[in-house]
Structure 1
């Protein structure tokens, strides 16, 4: 199953930068790296997403206001 890390600045409808990896550990490392690099910005949202047979599922997300949250 592919894993995606999505980085977005601004509202949920704004464009996003997305990377895709086959291994969860690699995607997790990228997710953490994006937090370290961009997590202090007020307008950032970073998501770790797992793609499965029923579509995408948000594993965890990050915003400066809420920090890291499991699920959507």
Structure 2
């Protein structure tokens, strides 16, 4: 848990977080579902073209390496 020095710092951090979340909701998502091993997962919720090596389901329960050319 993060500890803030002041209420203003905490409010500012919360506002920045909310802005990031709103921007994320408006972006196109990766959407890939097939792992390199052929297993099917829920669609990747990361932004399209994400730089991370792995995909992540929206519920954070599934992380997987997407197959080459997967959709």
TM category (shorter chain) comes to under 0.3
Say which structure, 1 or 2, has more relative contact order (CA 8 Å, 6+ apart): 1
- CA radius of gyration, larger in: 2
Q: How does the TM-score come out when normalised to structure 2?
A: 0.26
